[in-house]
Amino acid sequence: MFVSYDGSACPDFKGFMLLMPAVSVGNVGQLAVDLVISTLGMSKVGYFYTDCLVPMVGNNPYATTEENATELCINAEVYAVPSKQLAVLQIRSPFIKNKYRPFCQTLLSWVKSCGFAKVVLLSSSHAYQRNDQQLCGTSLRYLLSPAVEKTVGDQMQRLNRRELEQIVTFPGVNDDKTFQVPGGGITRLLFTESCSKGIPIIVLLKFCSEGDNIPDALALSDYLNEWLQLTANQESSCSLAKSSRWKIPSSWKLLFGSGLPPTLF
């Protein structure tokens, strides 16, 4: 559950939006959340203590000076910017086997107790497992729970967004359809659990492959920003101009290791 950063009482999150990633293919959701935290200069307000994630500790991923570079981070931390009524839960390690469901139950219990207005989940899915419909057009999709279908659905329509297509569960046996998110981690479970509990949730996802997923993270961040306008909009339609609004975290310098030592040559 939530543990305050300085030991004080839990901040008042009533009416806030909770943004979080799914630990999914390419870590695209986590990278996109990194961009939001870094760009908005969000303050850490606490930790999400759970035994469902692999334990980890590291240096401050958003360090800007030598002084704050020595601060420590752990596997699940909560950041906030009250002026935008936005809270972010960043997850930095994978889930322990068979711990998906307990984590979702704990998370949704916290969401209800804090009175979050809605949850936005950033995710990704294997590009190679798309069906014929999903191969056409943009690689970005969304999912809406019934609690936000009318309000947010209208906004998505105005932005010409594409909802994640449903597929036949058992071809040749029946015509029942459902949505699948291969490689999406907790995405499907968290979405269905939120729907059953009446919790407003919006899933934004991108089809991608493992590799250099920085472009995918920038695209997903832009997709989020076009809807919520978290940062200043660019007039240009150029993808490079759009992505220039994001502040790259210092930790991204080590995404692919520290490079080859000159002494090898």
User: Residue 237: its pLDDT value, please?
Assistant: 47
User: Residue 235: its pLDDT value, please?
Assistant: 45
> Is 189 or 5 the better-scoring residue by pLDDT?
189
> Is 175 or 189 the better-scoring residue by pLDDT?
189
Q: How far apart are CA 209 and CA 114, in angstroms?
A: 35
Flag the least confident range among 70-79, 122-131, 168-177, 219-228.
168-177
Length of the chain: 265
Task: Dump pLDDT digits (tens) for 7-39.
Answer: 777 789 999 999 999 999 999 999 999 999 999
Look at residue 242 and tell me whether its pLDDT is greater than 90.
Answer: no
Task: Dump pLDDT digits (tens) for 35-56.
Answer: 999 999 999 999 999 999 999 9
User: Which CATH code of 3.40.50.10900, 3.90.1010.10, 3.40.50.2300, 3.40.190.170 fits the domain covering 13-264?
Assistant: 3.40.50.10900
CA dihedral for 54, 145, 154, 117, sign (positive or negative): negative
Q: Where are the domains of the chain?
A: 13-264
Look at residue 170 and tell me whether its pLDDT is greater than 70.
Answer: no
Look at residue 131 and tell me whether its pLDDT is greater than 90.
Answer: no
> 138 with 118: CB under 8 angstroms?
no
Strands (E), the chain: 2-4, 17-21, 43-48, 57-59, 72-74, 76-81, 86-91, 118-126, 140-144, 167-168, 177-178, 201-208
Q: What residues contact 79, with CB distance under 8 A and at least 6 apart?
A: 37, 42, 43, 44, 45, 87, 88, 90
Mean pLDDT for 79-87 is: 95
User: Residue 195: its pLDDT value, please?
Assistant: 94
User: Residue 233: its pLDDT value, please?
Assistant: 55
Task: Dump pLDDT digits (tens) for 209-236.
Answer: 999 999 999 999 999 999 999 987 544 4
User: Residue 137: its pLDDT value, please?
Assistant: 86
